[in-house]
């Protein structure tokens, strides 16, 4: 069947134009932001290490942090039209975020999109001793140390349930979920990764590109990703 299609979307820098978690960490973290960011970019720590380090730089003042997120949050053009069409066509839309996550539902709600998305898979934040935040990762892989939220597992679970999965993202960490999907819409660092590693992908600028793309004819690929095994040991390379 060509019409059993599900979308898995990253949130920061994908649904929104800015990466709100990174902006928050940069703003409150000062010079320490770059210590952690550089370790992440050099792949010396994974996303889980990034979240742990950066959350310790944020004040545990959720009103302040939500205000910060709302001030900077802008939906990428076409998102509202996209989720409306997906709902009309019976294509579920899942958000899978590996950021701080607490602002996702409030932002979607503000723009009237929360009810048009099916599930938001995200990390949880709570106060840490000393007045900063900590991040809990309920969707992590049991043993893999890399991601906080195992996007690859969300994609694989949908595929095992018979869905063709379209993945859309922007960050290098999206490579794991993208590599398990049937079709990739990539921009920024995800596009760079796909190009460097020979993963077929479609470049996208905004959600009108997803609306315009022909999504009826593509095969569901059941091919293990060379980058991770969510059903086994997790991270490979
Ligand atoms: Mg992102």
Task: Using the mean position of ligand 1's atoms as its centre, give its distance from the Cα of residue 171 in Å.
Answer: 5
Measure the CA–CA gap between 82 and 180, rounded to whole angstroms: 22
> With left for phi above 0 and alpha for psi between -120 and 50, is residue 67 left, alpha or beta?
alpha
Burial track 70-91 (b if 16+ CB lie within 10 A, e otherwise):
eebbebbebbeebbeebbeeeb
Percentage of residues in the chain having pLDDT higher than 90: 89
Give the span between the Cα atoms of 47 and 148, in whole angstroms: 6
Report the pLDDT value the prediction gives residue 218, as an integer from 0 to 100.
72
2 pLDDT exceeds 70? Answer: no
Residue 19 CA to ligand 1 centre (angstroms)? 6
User: Ligand 1 centre from 206 Cα, in Å?
Assistant: 13
Two tokens, residue 230:
């969510």
Compute, in angstroms, the gap from residue 85 CA to the centroid of ligand 1: 22
pTM for this model (two decimals): 0.95
CA of 1 from ligand 1 middle (Å) equals 30
Question: In angstroms, what is the span from residue 160 Cα to ligand 1's centroid?
Answer: 25
How many beta carbons lie within 10 A of that of residue 1, not counting itself? 8
Helix (H, G, I), strand (E, B) or coil at 129: coil
Distance 210 CA to ligand 1 centre (A): 17
Per-residue pLDDT, 160: 93
**How many angstroms does the Cα of residue 47 sit away from the middle of ligand 1?**
11
The Å distance, Cα 11 to ligand 1 centre, comes to 6
pLDDT score at 184: 96
Residue 12 Cα, ligand 1 centroid: separation in angstroms? 4
Question: What burial letters (b/e) apply to 35-45, b meaning 16+ CB within 10 Å?
Answer: ebbeebeeeeb
Q: What is the pLDDT of residues 86-145, one digit of tens each?
A: 999 999 999 999 999 999 999 999 999 999 999 999 999 999 999 999 999 999 999 999
Residue entry with tokens 């579920």? 92
Domain architecture of the chain: domains with CATH? 5-219 (3.40.50.1000)
- Radius of gyration, alpha carbons of the chain: 17
- What's the rounded mean pLDDT across residues 14-41? 97
Beta strand segments in the chain, E: 5-9, 93-96, 119-121, 124-128, 132-136, 164-169, 183-186, 202-203, 228-229, 234-235
The per-residue pLDDT for range 194-235, each reduced to its tens digit, is 999 999 999 999 999 999 886 666 777 777 899 999 998 899
């Amino acid at each position: 069947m060509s019409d059993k299609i599900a979308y898995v979307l990253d949130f920061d820098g994908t649904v929104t134009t800015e990466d709100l978690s990174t902006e928050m960490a940069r703003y409150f973290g000062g010079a320490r932001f770059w210590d952690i960011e550089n370790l992440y970019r050099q792949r010396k720590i994974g996303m889980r290490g990034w979240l742990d380090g950066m959350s310790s730089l944020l004040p545990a003042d959720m009103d302040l942090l939500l205000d910060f997120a709302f001030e900077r949050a802008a939906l990428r053009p076409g998102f509202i039209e996209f989720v409306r069409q997906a709902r009309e066509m019976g294509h579920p839309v899942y958000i899978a975020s590996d950021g701080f996550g607490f602002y996702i539902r409030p932002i979607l709600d503000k723009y009237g999109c929360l009810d048009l998305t099916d599930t938001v898979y995200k990390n949880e934040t709570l106060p840490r001793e000393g007045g900063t935040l900590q991040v809990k990762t309920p969707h992590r892989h049991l043993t893999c140390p890399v991601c906080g939220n195992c996007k690859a597992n969300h994609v694989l679970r949908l595929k095992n349930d018979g869905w063709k999965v379209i993945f859309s993202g922007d960050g290098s960490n999206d490579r794991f979920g993208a590599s398990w999907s049937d079709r990739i819409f990539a921009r920024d660092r995800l596009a760079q990764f796909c190009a460097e590693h020979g993963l077929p992908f479609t470049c996208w600028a905004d959600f009108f590109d997803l609306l315009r793309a022909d999504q009826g004819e593509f095969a569901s690929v059941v091919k293990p990703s060379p980058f991770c095994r969510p059903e086994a040991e997790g991270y490979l390379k």
